[in-house]
């Protein structure tokens, strides 16, 4: 459970959101390169750029909104919808669960790398309570994305199995 943010934590969350938003194209490009070069993600090899991107830009936008307002239910609902859609699409694209989890983990890694850049470049005091709150929000966000995507992936698989 994410504790209620202090005013300083809200400010740092929105600053981080703006920082990540400014780097969204780079984050997506870095993630796509990581996925394309990951031998454990063979299902991604046959996808077009548009298919690979899928809902990743929207997911990053939802992360930015979450950093500014971690308790907004509308944002959580939108995030859950994007994650579920992403899981279903990856099932249709012949991913397996480990590949689905791995590509989301790759996205988390790219975002964490940029968090470190934010710390070094913008807010050297991004540790303790300030950085801790943002890190909890980011990791909780990605945990939600993984959980919902996998749940939808499994549900899609079970639906087809029942129809056969």
Sorted by where each begins, the domain ranges of the chain are 7-163
CATH topology of domain 7-163: Globin-like (1.10.490)
Model confidence at 161, pLDDT cuts 50, 70, 90, reads low
Residue 148, pLDDT above cutoff 90: yes
Contacts of 102 (CB under 8 A, 6+ apart): 38, 40, 41
Radius of gyration of the chain (CA): 16
Distance CA 134, CA 141 (A): 10
What is the pLDDT, as a whole number, of residue 7?
80
Report pLDDT digits (tens) over 64-75.
999 988 878 899
Q: Model-level pTM?
A: 0.90
Report pLDDT digits (tens) over 7-44.
887 888 888 999 999 999 999 999 999 999 999 999 99
Distance CA 78, CA 29 (A): 23
- Mean per-residue pLDDT of the chain: 89
């Amino acid at each position: 459970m994410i504790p209620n943010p202090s005013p300083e934590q809200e400010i740092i969350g929105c600053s981080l959101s703006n920082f990540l938003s400014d780097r969204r194209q780079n984050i997506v490009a870095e993630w796509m390169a990581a996925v394309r070069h990951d031998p454990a993600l063979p299902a991604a090899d046959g996808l077009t750029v548009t298919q690979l991107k899928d809902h990743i830009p929207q997911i990053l936008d939802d992360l930015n909104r979450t950093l500014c307002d971690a308790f907004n239910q509308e944002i959580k609902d939108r995030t859950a919808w994007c994650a579920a859609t992403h899981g279903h699409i990856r099932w249709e694209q012949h991913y397996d669960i480990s590949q689905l989890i791995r590509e989301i983990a790759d996205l988390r890694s790219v975002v964490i790398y940029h968090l470190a850049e934010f710390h070094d470049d913008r807010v050297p005091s991004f540790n303790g309570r300030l950085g801790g709150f943002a890190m909890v929000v980011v990791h909780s966000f990605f945990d939600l994305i993984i959980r919902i995507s996998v749940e939808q992936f499994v549900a899609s698989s079970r639906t087809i199995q029942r129809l056969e």
